[in-house]
Amino acid sequence: MSSSANKLSGLKASVPRTYSEWYSAASAAHWLDGLPVYPAEEEQVARLLNATDRAPGEVLGVVPPALATATVGAVAVQAAMAGCPPAAFPVVLAAVRAMLDETTDVVGPGFNLEGIQATACSCAPMVIVSPNAALQLGMEYRCAALASEGAVNAPIGRTVRLVMWNIGGGRPGETDMSVIGNPGKYGWSVAEHPLSPWEPLHVSRGLPRIMDAVTMFACDSPHEVALGHEIRSPLEVVTRIANTVCQAGSLNMYWGGQALIVLNLNLARAFAAEGWGRSDIAGCLYELARRTPAECNDFYDAKMMQFFDRPAWSSMLRTVPAVFGPRDLHIVVTGEGEGAAAAVCPGWGAAGGHAMTVPLPSVRKPEPFLGQSEEVSGYIADADPLLSNVAADDALGVRSSIRKARRRPGVPLRVLLFGNYAQADGSAGGVMQWLERHLRMQSSVIDVTWYSSQVPTRREPVESLQRLATLCDAVVLGVGLSGSRSWKIAIDAVQFEKSGLPTVLVVTRGYEEYIGNLARAAAFTDALSMVVIEPTDPPLETGHSLKLVEAILSALQGI
C-alpha cells in the first residue's frame, strides 16, 4: 500500500474475498441506489486523495437531509464506488462544494440542495464542466453529450449522486419525494464543447476565462427541441426553443426560476455566423418565452396562478415570462452531429436548483482508474457517513428541563403558527391559515403569533421564523403535499425540539412516515408530535374543523 493510503487512517477496512460478498454487504448497508457500483478499495481511495491537495478530513459542507458532514475522504469513498478517475476527483470536489453552497441569489435560494433532495419535482443535479478541463480530462462532448456516457463523464455524475445518497441520505420514498423521478438522478455530467464560438458558461457567470470551473444546475431530463436537424434562421430557432421553455406544466412556466438551453456545435456556429452571442439568444428567448394571461387561463385555474404570484407579473408586464430575466437562461454548447440540435432542461422553478459556479484548480492529465497491481489491499466496508452521525441526538431529559424552564404559569401559552404556503386547499399548508383564526378564539389559553411565507425555502423567511420562535413557548407547523417545503419545516421542527421548544406538526395524510424518516435521517430519534389531516378534507367549515382544533389543543397541552 502506498504511503498516501495512510491518509485513510480514520477508515477501518475489512476485506470481503469476492465482489459478490462486497456487493451483498453494500446492499445490506443501503449503499446501492439501484445501479451497480464498484467496491471502494483502499488503494483506489488513496489514489483519489492523492489527486487533490486537500486533506481527507477537510469538511466540504453538510449534506441534507441527513445533515451529515461531507469530508474530502468521505467523498473519495463515493468516487471510488463510482469508478471516478483520480484526475477527475477535483471536479467532483468542486461539484459537491457548488451543490452545498448556501449563497442565495437575487431571485431565490441558490442551489438549495435540501430542497433538491426532497422535492416532488423530477429535477436532478447536472454537473457542467468547463471546456478546457473537459478536454484535459478526456470527457465526452461530441456525441451523446447529455447522456453522461464515457469513462469520465459517467463517474463524475455518479459520484455526485452517491454523495447525495450515501452521505446525504436522500432516498426515494423515504426522504426524496420526487414523484416520477428522472434517470438523471443516477448521475449526470456534461462537458462544454471546446470549440464553442462563445465564451464558456463560467465566463458568462462572472469568472475569468483563464479559469476552469464547474457549474451545478438542477433540472429535468432534456426536452429536445424539434428542429428536424435543419439549420434554420436564428429567430425561428429561438421561437421553437421558446415554445419548449414556456410549455404548459413546466415548473418554469409556473414558477419562474432558471432553465438550461443546450445547443450543439453546428447550431451555435450558425448563430455566431449571424452575429448572435449568448446574451442575444437569452434576451430574445426571454421576450419570446412567455404567455398571455388568457393563455395561462387555458391551462391553470386562477388559484394556482395566484399562488405563484403570476397575476402581479402579468399586470406589470402584460404577459407572463417563463423566467425572471435573461440571466436565468443558461446557454451551454455541447454535442456535434451533422445538423442542428437544441434541447431545453427546465429548472426547478424559483425554489432552487439555480446555477452555482465554482472555480477548479488546474486539471491534470487523467491516469487509469486502477493501477496494474493485482493485489487488493482491502475494501472500505464500514465508511457509511450516516453511521457516525446517528449518536448526536440530545437526551430527552435535557430537553424536558429546558421546556419547564420556559413555561410561565398562569400566562397564556405563546404559540407560533407557521403555514408553509398561502394555499387555501385541504393540505396542511392551507389549513394553517384557517387554524390561525380558530386558535385566536382561544385567547385565554393561547396567544397566537402567525407567520406565513409562500416560499419558505428561502433563507430570509426561515431565519425570521427562527427568530419569532425564540419568543414563543411552542410552535405549530403545517407540513404536506410538497417534499421540499416539508423537508425544511420538518428540520425546523427537529431543531426546535432539540432546543427544548415544544413543536407540533400538522401533517397531510401520507406525509407522516416521510416526516419520521426525515427526523431519523437528521439523527432525531424521538417521536415528533403530529396531528394528521386528510388531504381531501373540505375547507374545514364543519364539525370536522372543531375536532382539528381539539386535536391541536390536546397536542399542545401534552407537551
Partner 1 sequence: MTEIQFSSWLTSYLRSPVLDGWPVRPATLVEVDSLVAVLGLAGEEPISAAGTGTVRDAAVCAAMAGCPPALFPLAFSAIKLIVEHPKETLGITDARSPAGTESAAAYHPVTVLSSDSTRANNLWTGYGALSSPVPGETSSVGRTVSLFLHRSVSGYRDRPPVFGHPGRAAYAVASHQTLSMAELRSRVPYRVACAAVGGPRALYLGGAAGQPSLMARIIANGFLTATCGVPLAPRAALLIVNPTTAHDFNAAGSGPLQTLLADAARYLEEDSQELIAALDLLPIVAGGASQTWIAFAVGPPGSAWVFD
Note whether 18 binds partner 1 by CB under 8 A.
yes
Which CB sits closer to partner 1, 264 or 475?
264
Note whether 421 binds partner 1 by CB under 8 A.
no
CA–CA separation, 247 and 375 (whole Å): 55
The residues, ordered by sequence, that sit 6+ positions from 143 with a Cβ below 8 Å of its Cβ are 335, 336, 337
For residue 307, report the phi and psi dihedrals to the nearest 5 degrees. Answer: -60, -45
CA–CA separation, 114 and 210 (whole Å): 32
Give the helix/strand (H/E) hosting 418: strand 413-419
CA–CA separation, 37 and 40 (whole Å): 9
How many other CB atoms are found less than 10 A from the CB of residue 243? 14
Among 6, 12, 36, 546, binds partner 1 (CB under 8 A): 36
Binders in 329-348 for partner 1, by CB under 8 A: 334-339, 341, 343
Among 243, 319, 442, 545, binds partner 1 (CB under 8 A): 243
Please give the sequence-ordered ranges of beta strands (E in DSSP) within 18-94, or none if there are none.
59-63, 68-71
Which CB sits closer to partner 1, 338 or 541?
338
Note whether 380 binds partner 1 by CB under 8 A.
no
Bond prior to 366 in cis (omega within 30° of 0): no
Which three cell numbers mark 303? 388559484
How many other CB atoms are found less than 10 A from the CB of residue 303? 10
The three-state secondary structure class of 402 is helix
The residues, ordered by sequence, that sit 6+ positions from 197 with a Cβ below 8 Å of its Cβ are 268, 269, 271, 272, 333
Closest CA to 56 of 380, 483, 532, 414: 380
Among 198, 286, 300, 451, binds partner 1 (CB under 8 A): 300
Which CB sits closer to partner 1, 332 or 475?
332
Which CB sits closer to partner 1, 68 or 88?
88
Which CB sits closer to partner 1, 119 or 357?
119
Contact 255, 163 (CB under 8 A): no
Binders in 116-135 for partner 1, by CB under 8 A: 120-122, 124
Minimum distance from CB of 106 to partner 1 (Å)?
Answer: 24
Which CB sits closer to partner 1, 20 or 557?
20
Among 208, 228, 275, 409, binds partner 1 (CB under 8 A): 228
Among 362, 373, 542, 554, binds partner 1 (CB under 8 A): 373
Binders in 500-559 for partner 1, by CB under 8 A: 510-511
Minimum distance from CB of 518 to partner 1 (Å)?
Answer: 14
CA–CA separation, 301 and 305 (whole Å): 7
Which CB sits closer to partner 1, 272 or 549?
272
Among 49, 63, 87, 154, binds partner 1 (CB under 8 A): 154
Note whether 235 binds partner 1 by CB under 8 A.
no
Q: Show the binding pattern over residues 254-283: x = contacts partner 1 (CB under 8 A), - = does not.
A: x-------x-x-------------------
Which CB sits closer to partner 1, 23 or 450?
23
Note whether 42 binds partner 1 by CB under 8 A.
no
Closest CA to 56 of 7, 96, 17: 7
Note whether 191 binds partner 1 by CB under 8 A.
no
Minimum distance from CB of 73 to partner 1 (Å)?
Answer: 20
- At position 57, the amino acid (one-letter code) is G
Among 55, 59, 235, 248, binds partner 1 (CB under 8 A): 248
The residue whose grid cell reads 465554482 is 358
The residue whose grid cell reads 477548479 is 360
End-to-end CA distance of the chain: 56
Binders in 49-108 for partner 1, by CB under 8 A: 81-83
Q: Which stretch binds partner 1 (CB under 8 A): 176-184, 204-212, 433-441, 490-498?
A: 176-184
Among 130, 136, 148, 357, binds partner 1 (CB under 8 A): 148
The residue whose grid cell reads 456487493 is 23
Pairing of strands 356-360, 212-219: antiparallel
Which CB sits closer to partner 1, 182 or 319?
182
